[in-house]
Amino acid sequence: MSRKKRRIYVCDACGYESPAWFGRCPSCGTWNSAISMSVDNHAIIETSKEVANIRSLSDIKVEDSHRLFTGLNEFDRALGGGVVPGSVVLVSGEPGIGKSTLMLQVAERMVSYGKVLYISGEESQRQIKLRARRLKLGKTENIEVSATTELDFLEKLDLKDYSLLIFDSLQTLRLSNVASLPGSFVQVRECANFVVSKAKESNVAAVIVGHVTKGGQIAGPKLVEHIVDTVLYFDTNKSGYRFLRTVKNRFGPSDEIAVFEMTSDGLAEVPDISDLFVKDFIVAPGNVITAVSEGSKTFLVEVQSLVSKPIYGTPRRLATGVPIDRVLLVAAVLSKRANIPLDNLDLYINIAGGIQVDDPGTDLAIALSLLSSFTNKAVPQGMAAFGEIGLDGTVRNVTGSSKRIDRLKESGFSEVLSPNGNIRIQNIADLVRFVGGMSDGS
């Protein structure tokens, strides 16, 4: 008996599905984006009749979970302690930031657990070999390379022979049974589902490299980020350091940060960044040191502010390295709760070193920096501040306060402004009184 198939039409731009052809997608408004796909109804019915494997949670036996260590301590920590067999990791970042370099370095270290399969749709086998030679990789005999965009061959491959699968990149891959071009919404979605299913079936870890959009977001449907186990995002700063941030992790903390530096021999780990961004600090109005906590790392950054009269009629608010919303919040609280006339002044905030910080603990440092610039009084040497500011003007504790204080003391800071520091700041009024007692820096 022949199987009955039904035909559906899927938007190649957003994934909208319809039983009838459409010229303009009702969801995203794209013209001529409908592609035809067939669905096997008989297969769906047969699958639905299968008895589900339902078991009591107490009856399920599991062995102690083990992780595979790459030897790149920063990368292992970003994953929560190493690679989990059967997990799928999505690594994304700007072009040229070092994603492929990192993948090849990880591949060399994973051969101690078994062969590594490196599937590249962007480079030829010769290009990958040249990159391995440039990185001076020694253990390459167990790294198998396939320069293809087709994923169908994985169906006939025994993946249990491998310790790691690397796909570089997701937007270049395709499945022959999906009537769409590589990089399209549908193709990316189906390829991601295919890779995840193969990794789970074979209990072999997989790493997928993903592109980013012009807006800095991970390209492709949001579904890809949902179905993978870990999402890592690569970004950089003006000093050339690479930051690997953990956005999602089912097997560990989701707020870790790993730091690398690009060298002639590839990505080198930077294990201690505690004082990396404050080594050029000078005492001047508007300059303040604060302690930032990201994952297991606690490091110091310099907040710089400039408060000046507007050149044009409308005051400007610019922020680099810190969300502009946090600056606007702190400025509004200073204006409302402490009667500091910042409403008609230009406000410029910068995090020195080009690093991006999104930590509510920087609120107090931003407020102190603005007041320091506004009054033209420099914060004394050896003084730092951290704390979260509420809309009512109170200064609140933040996570990792003790670690921040310890980090500041280790770096030679004797005076810490915070709700539980040696200079206790409980609200904005306390901060204004403290700044009022500082000496004039003019």
352 CB-near residues (< 8 Å, 6+ apart)? 277, 278, 280, 281, 301, 302, 303, 304, 321
271 marked as part of a ligand binding site: no
Q: Is 23 annotated as a binding residue?
A: no
The helices-and-strands tally (H runs, E runs) of the chain is 10, 21
Residue 93, marked binder: yes
DSSP label of 171: G
9 DSSP β-pair partners? 18, 36
74 is annotated as contributing to ligand binding: no
Euclidean distance between CA atoms 317 and 175, whole angstroms: 48
95 annotated binding-site participant = yes
- Taking the CB of residue 337, how many other CB atoms lie within 10 A of it? 18
Residue 169 labeled ligand binder: no
* Residue pair 147/128 in contact by the 8 Å Cβ criterion: yes
User: Would you list the DSSP string of 74-124?
Assistant: HHHHHTTSSBPTT-EEEEEE-TTSSHHHHHHHHHHHHTTSSEEEEEESSS-
Asked if residue 313 belongs to a known ligand binding site, the reply is: no
DSSP 333-385: HHHHHS----TTSEEEEEETTS-----GGGHHHHHHHHHHHHHT-PPPTTEEE
Nearest CA to 244 among 256, 258, 230?
Answer: 258
Q: Confirm whether residue 266 is marked as ligand binding.
A: no
Annotated binding-site positions: 93-100
Annotated binding-site positions for ATP: 93-100
